[in-house]
């Protein structure tokens, strides 16, 4: 049974007899609300009483009490505003003994109704000095909390299976420093949903807001750096092994600088950004997406340099073209160029194109492509351009089969990858009608009705003046 702890600045934590200054859940069948009324109210709890904790750290450090452990719940008033004394502050939820991988839960609640969730609108806990850190050790799940630090906010899981989860939280650093994740544990998982990471005020700083120190960092629907209009530094910085997956993350308040870089050559990290927004003038990384020693920014699918829905990898970039499209196809096309690093062994892959097979009869999936000239785009072979398709191959389980038109090995003779010439009309300025138009086809027999997905592999390096246009609408017959 979880124990509940209440935090609000202005009081003094005490040893409260058998209840140790805390209250337990399920005291009556009504649960949390009655726990407050019956347990504390029976002791005459009122504004002048102080059977609660002044800070989160007091829950773990007050003499004579039983400290929170895995599964316990700390609720903090949305009116709480506690500032720690000068110096670094570490809040360690493992002080109660061996802590399992179940997190201690920290929830912001309505000051007038402690059983009601309420997101904070100002800092509830803050480290004092400009050089002071605020560190959370162990496994935590936080909801609606506002934390602020003079220098860094650090999350440090206490094992390689550690978990940090933040939802609807605001994390603010004062003097151009960072929110640091995964400090010291490469196997940990940190997840942020619908959060805000920011600086207390604008600063022309070259430091970073997110410092990735290990483990897997996942971010969804997160707003980055509203108060950082003058910064030219990194938005994401990687120092140890792990991975970064970001979706729905808004970087548009950062007008310059770049998303990601590495400051160590002793690491391995894959980063992927999907559906993010980047301000015009910002870049993905210093010099564009590139490969650091064992660091790959695999893809960015984003509003990149002011153009909607771009997909950028270290091998190439795919830009949505609303004005160039195939009659009878999608309402836009993809314009693809490649970088010098693209090759048959390391191609640029388009985003997955998805569809649905409504029967188990033999199917063809056609993807229409075009180039501006016949001299460059018309001479691709299947060591440079091919289609891949994944689909349910068996009737009795969801195993995906794999189909590709790529050549089987570098020793095989490369051949024409096209299955047919495209006779349809493309519209829009810069369309490929006067160039080369073809169809790439996957011919498969699904084992069961269900979804499929396909993509193109593009292995020719440094394609720029004669880009590849792709209609992302699959034609199934």
* 174-186 tens-digit pLDDT: 765 667 665 545 5
Report pLDDT for 344. 93
- Number of helices (H), then strands (E), belonging to the chain: the values are 2, 42
Task: Give the containing element (helix H, strand E) for 126.
Answer: strand 125-126
**Is the model's pLDDT at 473 over the cut of 90?**
yes
Residue whose C-alpha is closest to residue 135's, from 155, 106, 165: 155
Mean pLDDT throughout 100-117?
Answer: 82
Report pLDDT for 163. 78
Report pLDDT for 335. 93
**Chain segment 243-284, per-residue pLDDT in tens:** 778 888 787 776 665 566 554 544 556 677 777 777 666 665
375-411 exposure pattern, b = at least 16 Cβ within 10 A, e = fewer = ebbeebbbbbbbbbbbbbbeeeeeeeeebebbbeeee
Report pLDDT for 48. 30
**Is the model's pLDDT at 287 over the cut of 50?**
no
CB 474 within 8 A of CB 355: yes
- Give SS3 for 136: strand
Give the Cα separation of 64 and 109 in Å (integer): 26
CB 150 within 8 A of CB 129: yes
Report pLDDT for 39. 44
Report pLDDT for 278. 72
Report pLDDT for 40. 43
Q: Which of 59-73, 115-129, 334-348, 373-387 has the lowest mean pLDDT?
A: 59-73
Beta bridge partners of 234: 258
**Is the model's pLDDT at 212 over the cut of 60?**
yes
Q: Which residue has the higher pLDDT, 7 or 356?
A: 356
Mean pLDDT throughout 299-314?
Answer: 56
Tokens for 225, please give them.
Answer: 């750096």
Give the Cα separation of 54 and 86 in Å (integer): 16
Residue whose C-alpha is closest to residue 403's, from 356, 364, 376, 368: 364
CA quadruple 45, 50, 54, 57: dihedral positive or negative? negative
Mean pLDDT throughout 159-164?
Answer: 67
Instruction: Quote the mean pLDDT of the chain.
Output: 76
Q: What is the DSSP string of 53-72?
A: BSSTTHHHHSTTSPPP-TT-
Give the Cα separation of 275 and 261 in Å (integer): 19
Strands 333-338 and 325-326, bridge-based pairing: unpaired
Whose tokens are 């910064």? That residue is: 231
Mean pLDDT throughout 328-352?
Answer: 90
Report pLDDT for 41. 42
CA quadruple 296, 298, 245, 387: dihedral positive or negative? negative
Q: Which domains does the chain have, with CATH numbers?
A: 1-129+137-146 (no CATH), 343-476 (2.60.120)
Report pLDDT for 43. 38
**Residue 369 neighbours by CB under 8 Å, 6+ apart:** 385, 422, 437, 438, 439, 440, 456, 468, 469, 470, 471
Backbone angles phi, psi at 38, to 5 degrees: -75, -45
Terminal C-alpha separation, the chain:
58
**Is the model's pLDDT at 298 over the cut of 70?**
no
Report pLDDT for 110. 85
Tokens for 305, please give them.
Answer: 């340099």
Give the Cα separation of 402 and 150 in Å (integer): 53
**Is the model's pLDDT at 119 over the cut of 90?**
yes
Give the Cα separation of 42 and 36 in Å (integer): 9
Tokens for 378, please give them.
Answer: 């018309």
Report pLDDT for 403. 96
**Chain segment 383-437, per-residue pLDDT in tens:** 999 999 999 999 988 899 999 999 999 899 999 898 888 999 999 999 999 899 9
Q: Which residue has the higher pLDDT, 189 or 310?
A: 189
Give the Cα separation of 243 and 256 in Å (integer): 24
Q: Which residue has the higher pLDDT, 46 or 459?
A: 459
Report pLDDT for 366. 96
**Chain segment 20-39, per-residue pLDDT in tens:** 333 333 233 233 344 444 44
Beta bridge partners of 23: 4
Strand order in the sheet with 196-199: 82-83, 125-126, 146-149, 170-173, 196-199, 223-224
pLDDT above 90 covers a percentage of the chain that reads 31
């Amino acid at each position: 049974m979880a124990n509940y702890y209440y935090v609000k600045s202005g009081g003094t934590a005490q040893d409260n007899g058998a209840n140790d200054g805390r209250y337990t859940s399920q005291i009556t069948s009504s649960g949390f609300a009655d726990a407050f009324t019956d347990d504390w109210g029976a002791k005459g709890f009122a504004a002048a009483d102080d059977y609660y904790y002044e800070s989160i750290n007091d829950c773990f450090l007050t003499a004579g009490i039983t400290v929170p452990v895995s599964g316990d719940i700390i609720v903090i008033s949305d009116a709480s505003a506690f500032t720690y004394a000068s110096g670094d502050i570490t809040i360690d939820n493992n002080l109660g003994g061996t802590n399992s991988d179940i997190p201690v839960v920290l929830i912001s609640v309505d000051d007038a109704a402690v059983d009601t969730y309420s997101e904070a609108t100002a800092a509830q806990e803050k480290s004092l000095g400009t050089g002071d850190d605020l560190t959370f050790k162990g496994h935590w799940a936080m909801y609606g909390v506002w934390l602020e630090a003079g220098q860094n906010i650090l999350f440090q899981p206490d094992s390689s299976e550690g978990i940090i989860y933040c939802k609807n939280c605001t994390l603010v650093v004062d003097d151009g420093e960072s929110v640091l994740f995964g400090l010291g544990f490469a196997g940990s998982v940190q997840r942020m949903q619908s959060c805000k990471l920011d600086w207390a005020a604008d600063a022309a700083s070259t430091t970073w807001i997110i410092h990735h120190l290990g483990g897997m960092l996942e971010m969804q629907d997160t707003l980055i750096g509203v108060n950082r209009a003058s910064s030219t530094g990194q938005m994401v910085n990687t120092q140890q092994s792990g991975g970064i997956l970001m979706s729905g993350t808004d970087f548009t308040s950062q007008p310059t600088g770049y998303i990601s870089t590495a400051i160590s050559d002793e690491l391995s990290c894959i980063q992927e950004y999907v559906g993010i927004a980047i301000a015009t003038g910002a870049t993905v990384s210093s010099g564009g997406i590139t490969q650091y020693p064992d660091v790959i920014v695999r893809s960015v699918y984003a509003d990149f340099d002011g153009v909607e829905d771009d997909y950028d990898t270290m091998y190439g970039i795919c830009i949505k073209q609303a004005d160039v499209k195939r009659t009878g196809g999608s309402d836009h096309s993809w314009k693809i160029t490649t970088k010098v690093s693209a090759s048959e062994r390391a191609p640029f892959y388009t985003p997955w194109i998805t569809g649905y097979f409504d029967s188990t009869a033999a199917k063809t999936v056609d993807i229409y492509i075009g180039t501006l000239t016949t001299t460059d785009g018309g001479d691709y072979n299947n060591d440079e351009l091919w289609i891949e398709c994944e689909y349910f191959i068996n009737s009795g389980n969801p195993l995906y089969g794999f189909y590709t038109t790529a050549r089987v090995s570098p020793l095989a003779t490369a051949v024409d990858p096209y299955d047919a010439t495209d006779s349809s009309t493309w519209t829009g300025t810069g369309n490929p009608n006067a160039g080369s138009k073809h169809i790439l086809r996957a011919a498969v027999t699904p084992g069961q009705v269900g979804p499929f997905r396909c993509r193109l592999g593009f292995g020719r390096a440094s394609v720029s003046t004669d880009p590849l246009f792709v209609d992302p609408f699959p034609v199934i017959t």
